[in-house]
Amino acid sequence: MLPPNTRTEAVFLKPHAPFKLAAFNVRTFMQVGQQIGLAMSLENFNIDVCCLSETRIQDSGEVLQIHSPSVASKRLFYVRLSRDPVASSSGLAGVGVALSARSEAVLIDWIPINGRLCAPDRLQPGCNQG
């Protein structure tokens, strides 16, 4: 419950543009074609945050930058993975999140909990900027 003197509208995220959330089961991220396909889907549906399941990939410790091969495309997406070294070395699936540049800009840190769970640690103050 909020203190009585707190303005409710100042507390909740109020984006200036529509915010779209999605979830995809990507199965594998080892082939470039899969990464391009995901980028094209995210761009076509104008997705800001996409939860990814079963993200098999060689190096899960890095933030991947993916974009559509379209010449007209200017959107870049950042894919953050759970970074479980045991799971990735054995070829097991993990989880991840694909973020639009707008969403990536408000994320300060990332907490890899295990191969099946990860979460944002902190968001920038004033993350309601569109």
pLDDT digits (tens, 9 = 90+) for 72-100: 777 888 887 766 666 556 665 677 788 88
Please return the burial class of 90, using the count of CB atoms within 10 Å of its CB with bins 0-12, 13-18 and 19+: exposed
Which carries the bigger pLDDT value, residue 40 or residue 53?
A: 40
Task: Identify which has the larger pLDDT, 54 or 125.
Answer: 54
What are the respective helix, strand and coil percentages of the chain, to the nearest 5?
Answer: 20, 35, 45
In eight-state DSSP terms, residue 97 is E
In a domain, 130, yes or no: no
> What is the pairing mode between strands 64-67 and 76-81?
antiparallel
Does 37 map to a domain?
A: yes
Q: Structural domain of residue 102, as residue ranges?
A: 19-120
Task: Give the count of domains, the chain.
Answer: 1
Residue 8 lies in a domain: no
Is residue 4 in some structural domain?
no
Residue 7, domain member (yes or no): no
